[in-house]
């Protein structure tokens, strides 16, 4: 945020953020009053991530925070008790690359779209929030697409299904900005009919686009600094510089107030961005996808940058042809903080399983694998003081599984955020027949109304609710099976970004 | 300049693909006699054998049992602590037909035009595809390579009649060595009644009224009916007349085995309305139908059972079709179909994700499918559905020795395949991913 006296809107924004941060009980603030203040989970195998496993252990939750963790805790009088005998509790799954809860993904018309902000288009009614919650995800990094070298502003949310958009942002989490390198920003795999090719078309041009933008941002920063200096010195009749909404977020990057999350694949482009960052004096917080990260793992570790990758996607485009499922393990072994992300609403429902694959491919330990979807993404997003492990004082963002979560047989039983049960499998199943009845009643009513007034009948009046194929938001397209956007037909519809074709609104 | 750069680009990509050292790697060794001893053998044909022996000779399973005599000269593999299963059969893939999805020069999975019954997958399967060894390492020993199967490809959607699917072993120097059955099914993409479509030509969503969509649907179904009826007349002409009395038509000729009921139709459909229509059509036309996709098969399970239509299910790790479907709609469907007596098999519908086949089956088990059924839906059932169960699908004397030796449950994420046999050959599990892993593991620490 620039320190200009006239920047009222940003300052107001800042105040809003601060208010949330310092609100005494942010959890209760986000939750309706119906959630019990004290919950005791007991008899569970607790995978703390920070200090090993506790067999038949208990977790006491008070006011949305973890109050106590140990082998046995007596239930306070007013506590709601969850008996988790034979079950496993882990910290909530954190997805470092998601496109759920977003009305659109890509502002792809320009090569630098840093003025747009995902925070302004959150959709709290996106059913994928609930589906991912049912897969144990409690927090997600909602990213802009990868259509341009410098994409839009991003934010971290908690998956508080049922709450309004204003309650989704993760209080106090630093905002981010999406960068993208390689085939997507240079538009290798698609062209939109009627639209001319857009600069850049090569990896060389991608570098220059980013350098050019930061050169401008530097000048802009200096212009404001000069102005503020003169203003503070008491100079009269000054005209403040004109605000530039495109450059402001980049100034925040230079000031370390906004994280850079950069989409990338190939080793050369990874090193390119590290060089540019050094030249302009900013940090890259995470490389996203980073499927060739294993080739330059030492360089990533030395730069202290996080790597957020897929478990086993490959071959959907040329830059994914050297992708290997050993990537996460190889980078981890060389000292990089690695997370496994989804980039796809479906993939997010089983990130625990995707993390487990690094045990098979590269021999990581159970603890190391689990960290890749809990503590490590929390560190990458700068929210590890709040979430990522099961420790006293942290947010009670927890998942209860019926088996070891690093098994393909594990099913999420409950997901808690801020100490509130946001997903409960038994409750979901119990409510299904009621929902079916409600749907049927609505359709019947609709049909009846249509029959009564045939003269008003519109051509499609009797098409049942729910016929519309759900749209997906995954960005890096999972090849065939999961390309929602590329495929207009329902079963095939699923993801967005990547490779070959792009649908409006999404793809990249 | 522009065309030069395109040619250069294509050449480079081609060179990059061809130059990969793995292509020269020996995929198989000469067959010989093997004895796998002290293994837990999941024959999938009766009881599981503890501490059993399996003998392989001349590409086939020569004997399975307890305490068998080891044939002279047999290579003995002590499989104590290990488990034997039939190899996994991925019954819908584009194996060998698509290397890199976004690069159309490497994609041969979908021909242009709407009716291509005469094109055959085996013709375009590249035995050198990097996908083959990667997939094999996941315990998959054979696949169906399916053309024009409705999936997204840079070359098109595959039209209505997509061509003939080929069943292949995942090893062999040439396609002839790989073939199990050149023509194992005829692909039919059943039309949808879609009011919302995406037009790739103009890059925009299109909406039409239901009546308009229905009209287009009826037109396509009439075309399909017309093709089948013409093929039936053609078959009659072939039976009754000499070749001189009718003009040869390669497309109709390709459909003759279909109308004779010798070749099954692999019908892609997901919505219950389309499935029902396709089943009724096949029934009326007396065609053998295999349903592929089947996202809403649960809505028509009684029909599928009563008509004996088996289903190749798309991966259960797929989101529900509709917003108001239960979140686990596809995960719990296999359990529901099994309970209703519908026959089904699992498939990846893909190449890159073929190795997730076991994971998908395990997830179906987690949501209620009996474990044995899951295992069979990866092995015996697909073999049976495509009429190959006399050759593969179980560990029984006389069948082809396509099998895997694992250190645990082959459906679990962390299990390793220790040995893999295809047609009795101990087959390498080296692959592109392993080679890159080993290469970069050895990179000296950067300065």
pLDDT in tens, B267-299: 999 999 999 999 999 999 999 999 999 999 999
Is residue A501 pLDDT above 90, yes or no?
A: no
Which range among B229-243, B321-335, B360-374 shows the weakest confidence by mean pLDDT? B229-243
**If you average pLDDT over residues A34-49, what whole number do you get?**
92
Which of the four pLDDT bands, split at 50, 70 and 90, describes residue B142? very high
Is residue A37 pLDDT above 50, yes or no?
A: yes
Residues pairing with B90 in the sheet = B143
Helices (H), A122-202: 127-133
Which residues does A21 contact at the CB level (< 8 Å), separation at least 6? Answer: A171, A172
Q: Do B152 and A486 touch (CB under 8 A)?
A: yes
**If you average pLDDT over residues A175-181, what whole number do you get?**
98
The residue with greater pLDDT, A505 or A174, is A174
**B32 at interface of A, judged by CB pairs closer than 8 A:** no
Is residue A50 pLDDT above 70, yes or no?
A: yes
For residue A336, what are the CA distances in angstroms to A139, A270, A296, A331, A341? 22, 14, 10, 5, 15
Q: How high is the pLDDT of residue B246? A: 79
pLDDT digits (tens, 9 = 90+) for B336-363: 999 999 999 999 999 999 999 999 999 9
**If you average pLDDT over residues A410-438, what whole number do you get?**
97
Residues pairing with A414 in the sheet = A400, A424
Domains annotated on chain B, with CATH:
22-87+393-447 (2.30.40.10), 89-390 (3.20.20.140)
Which of the four pLDDT bands, split at 50, 70 and 90, describes residue B6? very low
Q: Do A490 and B321 touch (CB under 8 A)?
A: yes
Q: How many CB atoms lie within 10 A of CB B21?
A: 8
Chain A neighbours among B 215-244 (CB < 8 Å)?
A: none
**B329 at interface of A, judged by CB pairs closer than 8 A:** no
3-state secondary structure of B404: strand
Which residues does B44 contact at the CB level (< 8 Å), separation at least 6? Answer: B85, B86, B375, B376, B379, B380, B393, B394, B395
With a pLDDT cut of 90, the percent of chain A lying above it is: 78
Alpha-carbon distance of B309 to B256, in angstroms, equals 21
**A-chain residues within 8 Å CB-CB of B197?**
488
Alpha-carbon distance of B37 to B51, in angstroms, equals 7
**B19 at interface of A, judged by CB pairs closer than 8 A:** no
Is residue B162 pLDDT above 80, yes or no?
A: yes
Q: How high is the pLDDT of residue A483? A: 37
Among the partner-chain residues A193, A432, A481, the one whose CB lies closest to the CB of B353 is A481
Residues pairing with A119 in the sheet = none
Which of A163-177, B102-116, B142-156 has maximum average pLDDT?
Answer: A163-177
Q: How high is the pLDDT of residue B149? A: 82
pLDDT digits (tens, 9 = 90+) for A96-111: 999 999 999 999 889 9
- Residue of A344, A343, A312 lying closest to A326 (CA atoms): A312
Residue of chain B whose Cα is closest to the Cα of A296: B446
Which residues does A410 contact at the CB level (< 8 Å), separation at least 6? Answer: A88, A352, A353, A401, A402, A403, A404, B366
For residue A485, what are the CA distances in angstroms to A290, A474, A507, B153? 23, 8, 7, 13
Chain B neighbours among A 286-345 (CB < 8 Å)?
A: 294-299, 302, 312-318, 320-322, 324-326, 330, 345
Task: Enter the DSSP assignment of B98.
Answer: B
Radius of gyration of chain A (CA): 24
Q: How high is the pLDDT of residue A34? A: 64
> So what's the ipTM on this one?
0.92
**A491 at interface of B, judged by CB pairs closer than 8 A:** yes
For residue A92, what are the CA distances in angstroms to A135, A421, B406? 10, 12, 32
Which residues does B43 contact at the CB level (< 8 Å), separation at least 6? Answer: B49, B64, B394, B395, B396
Among the partner-chain residues B196, B324, B349, the one whose CB lies closest to the CB of A481 is B349
Is residue A97 a contact partner of residue A176, using CB atoms and an 8 Å limit?
no
Among the partner-chain residues B321, B352, B414, the one whose CB lies closest to the CB of A359 is B414
Residue of chain B whose Cα is closest to the Cα of A463: B210
Q: How high is the pLDDT of residue A473? A: 52
The residue with greater pLDDT, A28 or A327, is A327
- Residue of B315, B444, B91, B171 lying closest to A344 (CA atoms): B315
Q: How high is the pLDDT of residue A35? A: 73
**B-chain residues within 8 Å CB-CB of A486?**
152
Pairing of β B88-93 and β B140-145: parallel
**If you average pLDDT over residues A447-466, what whole number do you get?**
60
Is residue A311 a contact partner of residue A325, using CB atoms and an 8 Å limit?
yes
**If you average pLDDT over residues A264-291, what whole number do you get?**
98
pTM to 2 decimals? 0.89
**If you average pLDDT over residues A36-50, what whole number do you get?**
96
| A296, A481, A502, best to mutate vs chain B, most B CBs in 10 Å | A481
Alpha-carbon distance of A4 to A7, in angstroms, equals 5
pLDDT digits (tens, 9 = 90+) for A294-320: 999 999 999 999 999 999 999 999 999
With a pLDDT cut of 70, the percent of chain B lying above it is: 90
- Half-sphere CA count of B146, side-chain side, radius 13 A: 32
Could you tell me how many CB contacts below 8 A there are between chain A and chain B?
A: 220
Q: How high is the pLDDT of residue A476? A: 60
**If you average pLDDT over residues A243-261, what whole number do you get?**
98
Residue B315 φ then ψ, to 5°: -50, 140
Q: How many CB atoms lie within 10 A of CB A79?
A: 19
DSSP string, A168-181: -B-TTPPPEEEEE-
Q: How high is the pLDDT of residue A5? A: 37
């Amino acid at each position: 945020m620039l320190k200009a006296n006239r920047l009222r809107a940003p300052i107001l924004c800042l105040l809003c953020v601060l208010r949330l941060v310092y609100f005494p009980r942010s959890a209760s603030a986000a939750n309706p009053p119906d959630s019990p203040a004290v919950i005791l989970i007991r008899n569970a195998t607790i995978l703390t991530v920070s200090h090993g496993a506790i067999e038949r252990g208990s977790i006491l939750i008070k006011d949305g925070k973890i109050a106590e963790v140990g082998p046995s805790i007596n239930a306070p009088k007013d506590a709601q008790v969850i008996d988790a005998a034979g079950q496993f509790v882990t910290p909530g799954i954190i997805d470092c690359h998601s496109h759920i809860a977003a009305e659109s993904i890509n502002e792809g018309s320009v090569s630098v779209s840093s003025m747009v902000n995902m925070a302004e288009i959150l959709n709290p009614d996106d059913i994928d929030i609930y589906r991912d919650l049912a897969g144990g995800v409690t927090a997600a990094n909602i990213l802009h697409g990868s259509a341009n070298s410098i994409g839009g502003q991003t934010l971290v949310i908690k998956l508080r299904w049922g709450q309004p958009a204003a309650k989704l942002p993760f209080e106090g989490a630093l905002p981010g900005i999406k960068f993208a390198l390689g085939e997507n920003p240079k538009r290798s795999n698609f062209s939109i009919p009627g639209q001319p090719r857009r600069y850049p078309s090569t990896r060389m041009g991608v570098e220059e686009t980013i350098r050019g933008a930061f050169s401008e941002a530097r000048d802009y920063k200096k212009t404001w600094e000069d102005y503020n200096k003169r203003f503070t010195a008491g100079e009269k009749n000054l005209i403040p510089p004109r605000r530039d909404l495109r450059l402001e977020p980049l100034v925040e990057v230079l000031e370390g107030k906004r994280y850079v999350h950069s989409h990338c694949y190939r080793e050369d482009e990874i090193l390119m961005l590290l060089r540019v960052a050094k030249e302009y004096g900013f940090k890259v917080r995470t490389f996203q996808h980073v499927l060739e990260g294993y080739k330059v793992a030492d360089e990533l570790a030395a730069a202290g940058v996080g790597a957020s990758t897929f478990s086993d996607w490959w071959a959907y485009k040329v830059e994914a042809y050297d992708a290997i499922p050993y990537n996460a393990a190889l980078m981890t072994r060389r000292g990089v903080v690695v997370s496994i992300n989804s980039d796809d609403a479906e993939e997010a429902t089983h990130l625990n399983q995707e993390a487990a694959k690094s045990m098979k491919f590269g021999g990581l330990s159970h603890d190391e694998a689990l960290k890749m979807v809990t503590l490590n993404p929390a560190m990458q997003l700068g929210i590890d003081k709040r979430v990522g492990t099961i420790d006293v004082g942290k947010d009670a963002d927890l998942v209860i599984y019926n088996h070891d979560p690093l098994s393909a047989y594990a099913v999420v039983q409950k997901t808690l955020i801020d100490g509130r049960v946001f997903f409960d499998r038994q409750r979901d199943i119990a409510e299904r027949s009621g929902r079916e009845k409600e749907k049927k009643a609505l359709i019947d009513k609709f049909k009846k109304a249509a029959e009564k007034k045939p003269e008003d009948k519109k051509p499609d009046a009797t098409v049942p609710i729910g016929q519309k194929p759900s749209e997906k938001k995954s960005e890096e397209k999972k090849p065939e099976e999961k390309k929602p956007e590329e495929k207009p037909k329902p079963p095939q519809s699923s993801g967005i970004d990547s490779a070959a074709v792009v649908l409006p609104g999404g793809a990249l | 300049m522009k065309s030069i750069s395109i040619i250069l680009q294509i050449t480079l990509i081609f060179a990059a693909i061809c130059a990969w050292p793995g292509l020269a790697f020996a995929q198989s060794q000469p067959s010989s006699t093997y004895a796998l001893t002290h293994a837990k053998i999941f024959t999938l044909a009766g009881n599981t054998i503890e501490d059993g022996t399996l003998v392989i000779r001349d590409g086939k399973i020569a004997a399975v049992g307890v305490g068998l005599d080891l044939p002279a000269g047999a290579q003995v593999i002590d499989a104590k602590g290990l488990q034997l299963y039939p190899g996994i059969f991925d019954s819908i893939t584009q194996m060998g037909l698509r290397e890199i999805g976004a690069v159309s020069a490497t994609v041969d999975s979908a021909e242009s035009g709407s009716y291509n019954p005469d094109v055959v997958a085996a013709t375009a399967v590249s035995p050198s595809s990097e996908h083959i060894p990667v997939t094999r390492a996941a315990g998959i020993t054979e696949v169906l390579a399916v053309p024009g199967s409705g999936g997204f490809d840079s070359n098109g959607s595959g039209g209505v009649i997509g061509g003939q699917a080929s069943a292949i072993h995942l090893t062999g120097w040439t396609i002839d060595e790989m073939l199990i059955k050149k023509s194992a099914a005829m692909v039919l993409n059943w039309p949808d009644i879609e009011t919302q479509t995406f037009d790739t030509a103009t890059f925009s969503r299109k909406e039409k009224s239901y009546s308009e969509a229905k009209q287009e649907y009826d037109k396509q179904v009439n075309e399909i009916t017309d093709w089948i009826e013409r093929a039936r007349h053609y078959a009659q002409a072939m039976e009754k007349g000499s070749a001189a009395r009718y003009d040869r038509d390669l497309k109709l000729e390709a459909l003759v085995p279909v109308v004779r009921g010798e070749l099954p139709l692999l019908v892609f459909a997901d919505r219950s309305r389309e499935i029902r229509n396709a089943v009724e059509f096949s029934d009326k036309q007396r065609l053998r139908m295999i349903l592929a996709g089947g996202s809403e098969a649960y809505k028509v399970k009684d029909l599928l059972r009563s008509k004996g239509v088996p289903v190749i299910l798309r991966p259960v790790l797929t989101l529900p079709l509709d917003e108001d479907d239960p979140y686990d709609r596809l995960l719990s469907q296999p359990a529901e179909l099994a309970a209703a007596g519908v026959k089904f098999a699992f498939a990846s519908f893909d190449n890159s994700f073929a190795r997730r086949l076991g994971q998908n089956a395990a997830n179906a088990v987690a949501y209620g499918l009996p474990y044995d059924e899951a295992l069979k839906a990866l092995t015996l059932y697909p073999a049976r559905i495509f009429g190959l169960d006399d050759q593969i699908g179980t560990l029984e004397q006389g069948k082809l020795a396509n099998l895997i030796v694992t250190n645990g449950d082959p459906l679990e994420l962390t299990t390793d395949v220790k040995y893999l046999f295809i047609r009795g050959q101990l087959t390498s599990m080296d692959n592109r991913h392993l080679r890159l892993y080993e290469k970069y593991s050895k990179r000296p620490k950067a300065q």
